[in-house]
């Protein structure tokens, strides 16, 4: 297992020239741990997600989403899945260098790389460390396709780089927006940019010419399923070209965090929300089986899916993009010196 070391005086992302939180930052004690990672490309064989390889420059996530399915992964490093996941962040300082080595391997054939599969690559510390941008620069040099999903407004910083990449290889950016109201978002995902700013981020990406879309994730029956139509309309108005949704996942370590936060913020809705989750999970709070984790079952879930698909068709989302550029992956060729030895 790689050795992580605490940083005695970690960088303050709020003092960076690239402020991720557009407003007053949340108060919290942040502990940063740096590591020299042994690998950076994670391979995924789940049928539930649309990518095989992903890059995660950080472990843990300051966004602090109560429902985050990645919380249990923090336990592999001796941390907890609760507040430790949100405030003890591990930084893979050598991520860009490792990625360049992976891309240069003869066995690598230029498959799309997702940023990120486990935690948000544009969480606040990215403003100080810049690991995601440097990883993207590596992908740009190799013309490797990338697919980004984030709640962070900081992705705006990299529009120039992403636009340059998109002229040579497929690039997509998905902005995750699950709630229509900023207040609901702040209660359940306190460290993220508010939804209003994420829609503005989506507009900036789209107007720049990037292929951008929305992820309504997670869909939480009884809490935000009534927001679906409005979220898709606002996304389309902001220039979104595609959309998808996934059902809330509550692994054992995530369930108590979610319920506690829900009870604190919406005490009068707790029983209704939990009953609604059980309704689409066949009487359970979670489903861990591959092929079933990301969607529900029964009449209520079928109605949610029908609403989502109907709205997407009405708004012209998820249409086939005939003009999408093909992959331009290639390994950079070093230029020979003028005066050889």
Largest distance between two CA atoms of the chain: 78
Check pLDDT > 80 for residue 4: no
Cβ neighbors of 204 (< 8 A, separation 6 or more) are 156, 159
Can you tell me the mean pLDDT for 175-186?
97
Check pLDDT > 70 for residue 167: yes
Q: How confident is the model at residue 332 (pLDDT cuts 50, 70, 90)?
A: confident
Q: For 254-275, give the DSSP string.
A: THHHHHHHHHHH-TTTHHHHHH
Pick from 184, 192, 183, 179: nearest CA to 218: 179
Distances in Å between the Cα of 278 and the Cα atoms of 235, 281, 298 are: 29, 5, 10
Task: State CA 118 to chain mean position distance.
Answer: 7
The pLDDT score that the predictor gives to residue 187 is: 96
Share of the chain above pLDDT 70, in %: 88
Check pLDDT > 80 for residue 262: yes
The pLDDT score that the predictor gives to residue 76 is: 86
Q: For 213-251, give the DSSP string.
A: EEEEEEE-TTTTGGGHHHHHHHHHHTT--EEEEEE----
Between residues 289 and 220, which one has the greater pLDDT? 220
> What is the token pair recorded at 182?
């900023």
The pLDDT score that the predictor gives to residue 18 is: 47
Can you tell me the mean pLDDT for 13-18?
48
Q: How confident is the model at residue 335 (pLDDT cuts 50, 70, 90)?
A: very low
Between residues 79 and 23, which one has the greater pLDDT? 79
What confidence tens digit (pLDDT) does each residue in 136-153 have? 999 999 999 999 999 999
What confidence tens digit (pLDDT) does each residue in 60-107 have? 999 999 999 999 999 988 899 999 999 999 999 999 999 999 999 999
Tell me the whole-structure pTM to 2 decimals.
0.89
The pLDDT score that the predictor gives to residue 336 is: 43
Residue that is written with structure tokens 């066949």 in the block: 282
The pLDDT score that the predictor gives to residue 247 is: 97
The pLDDT score that the predictor gives to residue 290 is: 84
Q: How confident is the model at residue 117 (pLDDT cuts 50, 70, 90)?
A: confident
The pLDDT score that the predictor gives to residue 78 is: 87
Q: Domain limits of the chain?
A: 29-315
The pLDDT score that the predictor gives to residue 322 is: 57
In CATH, 29-315 is 3.90.226.10: no
Check pLDDT > 90 for residue 22: no
Q: How confident is the model at residue 340 (pLDDT cuts 50, 70, 90)?
A: very low
The pLDDT score that the predictor gives to residue 50 is: 74
What confidence tens digit (pLDDT) does each residue in 213-243 have? 999 999 999 999 999 999 999 999 999 999 9
The pLDDT score that the predictor gives to residue 10 is: 55
């Amino acid at each position: 297992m790689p050795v992580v070391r605490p940083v005695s005086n970690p960088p303050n992302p709020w003092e960076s020239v690239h402020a991720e939180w557009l407003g007053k930052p949340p108060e919290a004690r942040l502990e940063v741990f740096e590591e020299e990672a042994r690998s950076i490309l994670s391979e995924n064989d789940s049928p539930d997600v649309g990518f095989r390889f992903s890059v995660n420059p950080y472990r843990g996530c300051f966004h602090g989403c109560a429902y985050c399915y990645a919380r249990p992964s923090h336990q592999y490093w001796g941390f907890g899945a609760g507040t430790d996941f949100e405030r003890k962040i591990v930084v893979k300082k050598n991520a860009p260098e490792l990625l360049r080595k992976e891309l240069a391997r003869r066995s690598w054939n230029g498959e799309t790389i997702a940023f990120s599969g486990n935690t948000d690559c544009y969480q606040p510390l990215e403003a100080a460390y810049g690991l995601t941008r440097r990883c993207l620069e590596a992908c740009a040099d190799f013309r490797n396709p990338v697919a980004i999903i984030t709640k962070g407004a900081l992705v705006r910083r990299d529009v120039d780089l992403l636009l340059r990449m998109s002229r040579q290889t497929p690039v997509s950016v998905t902005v995750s927006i699950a709630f229509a109201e900023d207040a609901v978002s702040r209660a359940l995902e306190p460290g993220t940019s508010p939804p209003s700013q994420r829609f503005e981020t989506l507009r900036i990406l789209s107007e720049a010419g990037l292929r951008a879309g929305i992820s309504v994730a997670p869909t939480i029956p009884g809490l935000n399923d009534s927001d679906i139509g409005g979220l898709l309309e606002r996304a389309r108005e902001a220039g979104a070209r595609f959309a998808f949704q996934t059902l809330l996942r509550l692994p054992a370590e995530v369930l108590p965090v979610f319920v506690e936060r829900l009870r604190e913020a919406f005490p009068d809705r707790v029983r209704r929300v939990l009953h609604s989750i059980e309704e689409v999970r066949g009487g359970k709070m979670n489903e861990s089986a591959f092929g079933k984790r990301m969607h529900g079952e029964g009449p209520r879930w079928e109605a949610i899916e029908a609403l989502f698909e109907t709205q997407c068709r009405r708004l012209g989302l998820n249409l086939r993009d005939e003009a999408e550029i093909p992959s331009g992956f290639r390994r950079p060729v070093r230029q020979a010196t003028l005066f050889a030895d």
